[in-house]
Structure 1
Amino acid sequence: MSEIDVRWISEDTLVINFGQSFSSTQPLSKGVGTPVAYCAPELIFDDEVSVWSDVWALGCTIFEIRAGAGLFMSFFGGPDEILRQMVQTFGRLPDQWWSRWGNRYQFFKDVGKPREVWPNNTPLAVGYPLRQHIQDIGAEDECIENEDSIANDQEASTRLMEPKGIRPSDAEVDCIENLLGSILKYEPAQRSPVEIVTQHPWFTMTD
């Protein structure tokens, strides 16, 4: 990505396109259009939208801004992939959702751990906790063997990668884990309210 002239960078943020917004006191009954990768479990299973489902989406977005890639990604756009990644990251879903996920046993035992025996010996799920997600931020940079040629190739898709050196320090790993761990709770009522989230020290961290 070519460098941007600093003259066009402003500290002011303009939020646009409120096409699917609604009052939190009058939530839509269904059909909010949130991409499945940002959907909280209650939105996937019950079409239940609230400020708490927005908080979950905010947590996914914060990770994506820092990492340059989504926390959860669905190649085919279906919920099974997202639910699998949720369980890999946070463990077994609460009973009210776990029992309703029809394809859960394709990936996990009933305790929420990945299966030990797989068809064709090809694992479809692995444990991948949140902390490991955070520690792996920037790891793809270390796989680049010829940085100069990539930097000079304006057509290379990797030109959109963040600069080297973005791997989080141990202190930042702890800080982001604390932040996202307070947001990405399965139970909506356990998620930190946005007023608390915005005061988290990660947003002013300089390390």
Structure 2
Amino acid sequence: MKRLGRIRLSHGRSKEEFNDFLRKLELQAIETAEERIPLYLRVGIKEANLILDVGCGSGMVTRDIASLTKGRVVGVDGSQEMIDVATVILGEYTNVDLLVGDAHAIPFCDNTFDVTTCNLLLMWSRDPQKVVNEMARVTKKGGVVLASLEPDYGGKIHWPENPTVDPIFAGEAIKRRGGDPHIGRKLRALFVKAGLETEVGIGNSRIWSCEED
């Protein structure tokens, strides 16, 4: 991971806790790339001129998108802290712009982007329907709105069995942190209500823990 220098911590974390958090994000981005990248290629990110990554966070997933396209990539996140991190992570990419913005009120005009994407965002959104509506609004007619890796812990089957990795326990931990561990089963309804032609897929994934502090 690149040296991040002095980034103001706004969530009460110590420097060590924050660095550990970023290492987990980096590992997650690396280990989910094989699920995400085929989706990006399928929806035409390689050919797109303008792409929006909503809830870009640290920029580690945005980096994969920027690596696949010659088009312009815009990353938006509600946290200045995360945008500061992403600015460092994506410093070598000349085709990326980053700004602070609310996924519930995306700061762009209607019909702006060829592809609008988010990754593991809706599960943490206070109003996922509003987020999907906003993603649809800023996407051009004929463009693509993609939500990747949104989980459904109620449908997870873990094999071989491992008592230390329990989908129910992980789901309850997500709930305690304000997330929705069953957002996956709601995706079709969210997208249809936003007026989008919808395709939902199911894939394999590892369980990522959400432990209490």
Query: Which protein has the bigger strand share?
Result: 2
* Greater relative contact order structure (CA < 8 Å, 6+ sep): 1
Q: TM-score, normalised by structure 1?
A: 0.26
Q: Quick check: which one's helix share is greater?
A: 1
Query: How high is the TM-score relative to the length of structure 2?
Result: 0.26
Which structure would you say has the larger Rg? 1
